[in-house]
Structure 1
Amino acid sequence: MEIKFFCPRWGCENVSWDEFCRNVKEAGYDGVEYGIPAESTKEELDEAWSNFEKYGLLAIPQHYSTYDADFDLHLKNYGAWLDMIAPYKALKIDAQTGKDYFSFEQNKKLVERAAEHTRATGVEVYHETHRNKFTFAAHITADYLRRIPELRITLDASHWVNVAESFLQDQQEAMAIAIERAEHIHARVGYQEGPQVPDPAAPEWDEALQHHIAWWDKIIARKRAAGDTLATITPEFGPYPYMVHLPYSQKPISDQWANNVYMMNLLRKRYNG
């Protein structure tokens, strides 16, 4: 099974697409996960995809920017975002879908809207486990997964660790169904009081790292056993405020780019030998 790694555009928005994609390619990534604002223009999207093509990079568009509290408007804008990116070549889509305060039926309508996009384009949409979305907690997401058999997710367990203030040792059943239905991995490491450890290479954060690796190992093992030909991973350590800054100086406490490259190299060695 081939494992491909994607670099987040998040945190590098001030870097030109050409420079960013050149850096991504030189670092050894296979593609880019691109968080696309709802207000993006065709010119901006064209520029991004022309650089993906120039540097031979795959693309995973990421949805995050539908915030409307009014459900009807939320559904309309969610669909508009999917329509906006439909003309662009994508390996898959990562979507931060819905809201934690929407009802099950409301969030289900959003999942169904994403399924319509897949039927129209052939591009699968995977719903990211994320705070303030319908997937904000392990036990809540497990209920959705049981009630919607076709639902597939991007597993970002860092959010769940933070929400539950634990490494989810007491939620084994919820983690098991999440692992079974995960089709994309966000390789960020969370801890009990936050969604991102300061530095995944630091020994004091090894316990948190090992918990996450154990979940990722199970996803990779499941996909290999099923005969899947591809697995995708995005190391997703982010900039401020995910990365805490030092007081007064506002200097980051570690290097976001280096953290993500470290995770990529660690997991590539682990899974590809």
Structure 2
Amino acid sequence: MTGSWEESFKQIAEAGYDGVEAGLPGPQDQQRFMDLLEQYQLKFIAQIYTHGNHSVSFEEQLLRAKHFSPVKIVSHSAQDCMPFRDQLRFFGRAVMLEAELGVQVAHETHRGRAMFTPWNTARLLQHFPQLKLTADFSHWCAVCESLLENQVYNVKLAISRSVHIHARVGYAQGPQVPHPAAPEYQQELLTHTRWWREIYQHRSKEGAECLSVTTEFGPPNYLHTLPFSNEPVANLWEVCDWMRQFIAAEIARESFNE
């Protein structure tokens, strides 16, 4: 979002969102950020991004994020090119820290990270029953260049561990369609909706009080742009808010419970 935090928080609250998902503000802005959360009665989902020594980076950011009392923490964890034995060490330490600190961490299925494919994610989930996910399957569509038709088992395993959704729609050639309402992407929208519905059903059966969803469409160049002018082909706020209304309508029709 562009503009000041004050403007953004006001716009988010007035649109009917329950919270914000964002990276951690700098130390000098921490109190201002927390004051705005309180002013607008918005919950907070913190994003962290591991780098360098990924285990040390994860622990440092986890400890800092805990000070904000987030409802959960979304982590871009480890790296796609990291040897699997190092991934095992990283996630073994991660689940131990999560238990010690009493915070819920949802590792995102994101390109460039350890969980960049359905099959590598499945291997990690099989090793660690405690691991939980942020389901952003749009990335897997791009990596696998498909709607994951041949990854049914791995996707179902991921669904069973997902506690948070990034409701972006991907397609075979990229992680974000220009607009999810466009009829040419109807199949992609229906496929992602089916996955989200299954997550909702699974969490309901587990007795979860809620399922958090962020309508996370990215800015340019995630959002397609026109050549030469670099003008976005759609309005980002409208795209995200269309998805918010779509999901609210799906739940209102109880289709998520079918």
**Cα distance, 1:116 vs structure 2:** 4.0
**Cα distance, 1:245 vs structure 2:** 1.3
Once the two structures are superposed, residues 191-224 of structure 1 have per-residue CA deviations (whole angstroms, 9 ceiling, x without a partner) of: 0010000001111111111110010011111122
Q: What residue is the counterpart of 1:174 in the other structure?
A: 154
Q: Say if 1:118 and 1:67 are closer, same or farther in 2 by CA, change over 3 A.
A: closer
Once the two structures are superposed, residues 60-96 of structure 1 have per-residue CA deviations (whole angstroms, 9 ceiling, x without a partner) of: 00113x332xxxx332222221222221110000101
Q: What residue is the counterpart of 2:23 in the other structure?
A: 35
Secondary structure of 2:17's match? Answer: coil
Q: Say if 1:30 and 1:97 are closer, same or farther in 2 by CA, change over 3 A.
A: same
Residue 26 (structure 1) aligned with residue 5 (structure 2): no
Cα RMSD, aligned residues only: 1.4
Q: Contact 2:51–2:57 at 8 Å: present in 1 too?
A: no
Q: What residue is the counterpart of 2:243 in the other structure?
A: 263
Once the two structures are superposed, residues 136-171 of structure 1 have per-residue CA deviations (whole angstroms, 9 ceiling, x without a partner) of: 001111111111111110110000011000111111
Report the AA paired with residue 32 of structure 1: V
Residue 150 (structure 1) aligned with residue 134 (structure 2): no
Secondary structure of 1:150's match? Answer: coil
In the alignment, the residues of structure 2 paired with residue 22 and residue 105 of structure 1 have an alpha-carbon distance, to the nearest angstrom, of 46
Corresponding residue pairs, total: 253
Q: Percent identity?
A: 36
TM-score of the two chains, using structure 2 as the length reference: 0.93
Residue 161 (structure 1) aligned with residue 149 (structure 2): no
The structure, 1 or 2, with the larger RCO (C-alpha pairs under 8 Å, 6+ apart) is 1
Q: Contact 1:98–1:134 at 8 Å: present in 2 too?
A: yes
Gaps spanning 5+ residues in structure 2: where? 254-258
Q: What residue is the counterpart of 1:5 in the other structure?
A: none
In the alignment, the residues of structure 2 paired with residue 203 and residue 127 of structure 1 have an alpha-carbon distance, to the nearest angstrom, of 32
Tell me which of 46, 50, 58 is aligned to 2:43: 58
Q: What residue is the counterpart of 1:3 in the other structure?
A: none
Residue 80 (structure 1) aligned with residue 60 (structure 2): yes
Q: Contact 1:17–1:47 at 8 Å: present in 2 too?
A: no
Moved >6 Å (runs of 4+): none
Gaps spanning 5+ residues in structure 1: where? 1-11
**Cα distance, 1:254 vs structure 2:** 0.5
In the alignment, the residues of structure 1 paired with residue 5 and residue 75 of structure 2 have an alpha-carbon distance, to the nearest angstrom, of 22
TM-score of the two chains, using structure 1 as the length reference: 0.88
In the alignment, the residues of structure 1 paired with residue 216 and residue 9 of structure 2 have an alpha-carbon distance, to the nearest angstrom, of 16
Once the two structures are superposed, residues 100-131 of structure 1 have per-residue CA deviations (whole angstroms, 9 ceiling, x without a partner) of: 11122322333234334433432110100000
